[in-house]
């Protein structure tokens, strides 16, 4: 991984989605890590300088909401995007309290991944590379 590229961690239990998002974000100037569960995601955070996480809500074991709360407690500067198949998902108050907004939530499938990229760049305060 190149150190000048922001690192994104993709936490999703569907391998196809993890791989697709990783390829897309790498093509757009990010270094990508992937995890299939909240537990794997927390392990990945411990050994890497991650700037942003995309997180599915329905994960095996801990939920995406629980992962975000734990990851934020470890690194309050970490930014998050939620990428979920739960069409009725509503951002809980606990996540709003860490400055997440409805603009950080995307319902699968997103036809234009440029929307996720724009949100990632917004959260990181960067222009498109």
Cβ burial, residue 102 (10 Å; 0-12/13-18/19+): exposed
Residue 3 scores a pLDDT above 80: no
Over residues 28-41, the pLDDT tens digits come to: 999 999 999 999 99
Say if 91 falls within a structural domain: yes
Residue 129 scores a pLDDT above 60: no
Q: What is the mean pLDDT of residues 56-69?
A: 97
Say if 85 falls within a structural domain: yes
- Alpha carbon distance 123, 60 (integer Å): 27
Say if 1 falls within a structural domain: no
pLDDT for residue 4:
86
Say if 58 falls within a structural domain: yes
Say if 129 falls within a structural domain: no
Say if 55 falls within a structural domain: yes
Name the domain count of the chain: 1
Domain with 33 in it: 7-124
Say if 28 falls within a structural domain: yes
Q: What is the mean pLDDT of residues 70-79?
A: 96
- Alpha carbon distance 10, 19 (integer Å): 9
pLDDT for residue 1:
45
Mean pLDDT (the chain, rounded): 95
- Alpha carbon distance 74, 89 (integer Å): 25
State the CATH number of the domain containing residue 73: 3.40.50.2300
Q: What is the mean pLDDT of residues 77-104?
A: 97
Say if 2 falls within a structural domain: no
Q: What is the mean pLDDT of residues 53-60?
A: 97
């Amino acid at each position: 991984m190149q150190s000048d590229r922001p690192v994104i961690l993709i936490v999703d239990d569907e391998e196809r989605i993890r791989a697709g998002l990783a390829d897309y974000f790498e093509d757009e100037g990010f270094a990508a890590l992937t995890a299939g569960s909240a537990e794997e995601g927390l392990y990945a955070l411990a050994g890497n300088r991650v700037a942003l996480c995309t997180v599915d809500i329905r994960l095996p074991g801990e939920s995406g909401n629980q992962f975000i709360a734990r990851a934020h407690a470890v690194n309050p500067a970490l930014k998050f995007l939620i990428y979920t198949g739960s069409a009725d998902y509503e951002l809980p108050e606990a996540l709003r309290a860490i400055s997440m907004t409805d603009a950080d939530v995307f319902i699968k499938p997103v036809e234009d991944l440029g929307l996720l990229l724009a949100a990632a760049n917004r959260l990181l305060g960067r222009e498109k590379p």
